[in-house]
Amino acid sequence: MEPLLQEFMEWLKLQSYSDSSLKNHYDDTQQFLQWYAATTEAGDLGKVNRSLMEQYRDQLLDFMQPSSVCRHLSSLKLFLNCAEGKNWIRVNPLHLVKFPEIPPKPPELLSIQEVEDLLEAPSDDHYLGLRDRAMLELLYSSGLKVHELLNLDISDLFLDLDFLKVRGRRERMVPVTTMASEVLQKYLKEGRQDRLRYEADLCLFLNRDGERMTRIGFWFMIKKHAKRAGIQSRINARILRHSFASHLLENGLDLTDLAQLFGYVSLDATLQYAHINRPDYVEVYRRCHPGIVGVVNRDQNGS
């Protein structure tokens, strides 16, 4: 079996796999070939079939996590593809074998209090503070991805309707909270126009040079304000997006509506989040978003 393994390694090298990938594929394949030889007492791959590979998968699951088994089987799928191409076997049986399901990891989340502290961290006394507050409010208001946020132009805003347009492969209209809309209007009036490097530029969020803000610039910004807010948890735009989703679901939004908000094609992408039933999409958004609920409660309390 060793000559087959060595020939497989040469086949992988021709496809420019990294050294670490080559080592992983070597170890996984060697482990399988040793098991195969002991189980079948065969000197070639003639007894490799679907049933045998399912037996091997099930034995791996006895001592490995599903994610590790999937990685291991992926190595073997490459090996058996190679074997099929070199006519060592007639067909790769792993194409017919179901890989273990990997349960989604629960997303990291911020509490509502941590989000409120983060949103309050930027100072309105400086145009950068206005920009940062507008970006954070908009992220938590609408659950945007960071590239969607940074690609926004002023022509994408419909603040009189509390909506914005997200451009991309699946263009969509997304609601924003009244608070986010107010902060954006203040930023547009006091923090953006005089900072533009090119007057005709439509980009919404500017860096210090008056050009479109970058992902690295955003990363430094959110870390700075998280530290100022005293947030000990790990934080980035993705975690803020997950927190947005979780807080809405806890207050009654349905997974189908979350998928619409996020522009997902399939509900499978929302399975990392909780459950919870819903009424109507935009109505529930208005009623359930903590930012809106907090504003209403403050108004009712006269503060």
Residues 210 and 162 in one domain: yes
- Residue 89 located in a structural domain: yes
Q: Cα–Cα distance between 145 and 245 in angstroms, integer?
A: 12
Residues 69 and 125 in one domain: no
Give the chain's domain count.
2
Question: How confident is the model over 11-35, as pLDDT tens digits?
Answer: 999 888 888 889 999 999 999 999 9
- Residue 102 located in a structural domain: no
Residues 196 and 251 in one domain: yes
Q: Which domain holds residue 6?
A: 2-96
Residues 14 and 41 in one domain: yes
Residues 81 and 119 in one domain: no
Residues 40 and 122 in one domain: no
Residues 75 and 144 in one domain: no
Q: Cα–Cα distance between 13 and 18 in angstroms, integer?
A: 8
Each of the 303 residues of the chain gets a pLDDT tens digit; together they read: 788 899 999 999 988 888 888 999 999 999 999 999 999 887 789 899 999 999 999 999 999 988 899 999 999 999 999 999 999 999 999 999 999 987 766 667 888 899 899 999 998 888 899 999 999 999 888 888 888 999 999 999 999 988 999 887 778 888 888 899 999 999 999 888 778 888 788 999 999 888 999 999 999 999 999 999 998 888 888 888 888 877 877 776 666 777 677 765 554 455 555 433 444 545 656 766 776 655 445 445 554
Residues 91 and 168 in one domain: no
Question: How confident is the model over 220-270, as pLDDT tens digits?
Answer: 999 999 999 998 888 888 888 888 877 877 776 666 777 677 765 554 455
What CATH number is attached to the domain comprising 78? 1.10.150.130
Q: Cα–Cα distance between 211 and 209 in angstroms, integer?
A: 6
- Residue 262 located in a structural domain: yes
Q: For the full predicted model, state whether its pTM sits above 0.75.
A: no
Residues 86 and 205 in one domain: no
Residues 87 and 118 in one domain: no
- Residue 123 located in a structural domain: yes
